[in-house]
Amino acid sequence: MDLKHSGFPVPSDYFGVLWGLSGIKDLVILEHGSPGTCSYNAFNYRIMNRQSPKGKLFSSGMDQDDVVMGRADKVVEAVRELDHNLHPRIIALVATGVTSVIGLDLDGIISEIQPLTHARLVSFPHGGFAGDYNQGIMESFRTMVDLAKEPAEHKPFSVNIIGPTIDSFNNVSDLAEIERMLELLGAEVNTVFTSRTAVEEIEQMASASLNLVTRDLGLETAQILKERFGMPYIHGLPFGVHGSVRWMNDIADNLGLRLEKRTIAQELLKYGYSVLELFGFMQNFDHLRSLLSCPCDYALGLAGWMAEEWGLPPSAVALPARPQMPHVPEKLERMGVSKVLIEPESLTIEDALNSIKPHVIFGSSYDLQIARNVPVKIHAAFPAFDYIYRFDGTPFVGFRGHAYLTQTLVNSLNAHPEVFLS
């Protein structure tokens, strides 16, 4: 079995489906499985920074007789009850492991009861057997974007943000900063797909003029919208001062807006301080080594920021999942990263830590547990079960993210003065 970091298993597509659907306001999730599976997911959500959507997740309550007989009575009754009591726009029927093993036909059930149900019914039949959580997130995106309709009107300065889900690290703060930067440009957010959206907003996605893909898992969705409605898209996150200016200029060019020099000057005055300004004149940091272990878009952004604005590219980058776009290792190597690990097991990360001996590591709680001898540990990926990121004032992206990260790094290094001597 492929185990992740000290025996923690990689989440399956089943979990990815749950995470991808959880941010849609007028959608409820009906798991066809035992009540214990649904109860376990309360813990599963809590490790995502104590985010537990209320009134979102329900169980059909299968028991052993239902499994043996392959009965569908309980899921049919649960659909009727949810439809009658909660009046959701969509009920998502999600298979668990047991229903997938016995081969229960969720699509057949839907075809039977859809004419009697006000809510639209959609199915996710794989139950954890189609791959890892990334496959589940993309499956949820693929199903939901199919709701998009030809718009009655176009909003010339409106954008969709595609990619954030409940498992996106630092989501609250990063989205707040992205929206602030868009407001500086004179642009507005149409919807955030799928961590903060509603069925009607998904249906009206094509009314926006541009899609901003903040996560490689959203590229397929952006391509679907481009093919169906001709919508252009930009992929990437704004890290650092230079990255933020480039990102805003790209958006301005696509929307026919202008990024004013005065706006940049004001942002730099408030948030543009460099690491040289914050370190003491006797502190030498040219020798510092670092390792990043975080998803693709965060890794590219952080590595580019450290190389371009610190002059210190990470020594190694570990990507927990295979990127959905080509040439990511080559891009990292051009930034000066000497070692790129893709889907590494815990022993591989330990070997990299032992050979590089970094002074700084960015990663998940699992990564930071492994990095026992690394002086400076900064959470930069989920799960972050021992560190809370719910406040909206600690972004990693944008101008304010540059200021926050620079301050955080300098403070963390100052707490370990020995790193300046090694």
Q: What is the pLDDT of residue 42?
A: 56
Instruction: Tell me the pLDDT of the chain averaged across its residues.
Output: 89
Let me know how long the chain is: 422
Q: What is the pLDDT of residue 158?
A: 98
State the average pLDDT over residues 59-76. Answer: 64
Q: Which residue has the higher pLDDT, 120 or 126?
A: 120
pLDDT digits (tens, 9 = 90+) for 201-247: 999 999 999 999 999 999 999 999 999 999 999 999 999 999 999 99
Q: Which residues pair with 339 in a beta bridge?
A: 316
Q: What is the pLDDT of residue 1?
A: 34
**pTM over cut 0.85:** yes
State the average pLDDT over residues 92-101. Answer: 76
pLDDT band with cut points at 50, 70 and 90 for residue 106: confident
Q: What is the pLDDT of residue 7?
A: 46
Torsion of CA 81, 82, 88, 92, to 10 degrees: -120
Amino acid in position 222: A
Percent of the chain at pLDDT exceeding 70: 87
Where are the CATH 3.40.50.1980 domain residues in the chain? 3-145, 158-269, 279-420
State the average pLDDT over residues 17-44. Answer: 77
- Sequence-separated (6 or more) residues with CB below 8 Å from residue 149: 203, 204, 206
Q: Select the CATH number that applies to the domain covering 3-145 from these four: 3.40.50.1980, 3.90.1150.10, 3.40.50.970, 3.40.50.1820.
A: 3.40.50.1980
Q: What is the pLDDT of residue 315?
A: 97
Q: Which of 209, 162, 158 is nearest to 187 (CA)?
A: 158
Indicate whether 292 pLDDT > 50: yes
Indicate whether 141 pLDDT > 70: yes
Q: Which of 154, 409, 138, 169 is nearest to 278 (CA)?
A: 409
CATH topology for 279-420?
Answer: Rossmann fold (3.40.50)
Q: What CA–CA distance (Å, rounded) separates 128 from 31?
A: 12
Q: Which residue has the higher pLDDT, 37 or 355?
A: 355
Q: Is 174 within 8 Å of 394 (Cβ atoms)?
A: no
Indicate whether 39 pLDDT > 70: no
Residue 34's CB is within 10 A of a number of other CB atoms, namely: 21
In CATH, the number for domain 158-269 is 3.40.50.1980
Q: What is the pLDDT of residue 97?
A: 64
CA distances from 334 to 19, 254, 269, 337 (A): 33, 27, 30, 7
- Sequence-separated (6 or more) residues with CB below 8 Å from residue 298: 169, 237, 292, 380, 381, 396
Indicate whether 4 pLDDT > 50: no
Q: What is the pLDDT of residue 2?
A: 43
Q: What CA–CA distance (Å, rounded) separates 366 from 353?
A: 14
Percent of the chain at pLDDT exceeding 90: 71
Q: Which of 413, 10, 359, 393 is nearest to 170 (CA)?
A: 393
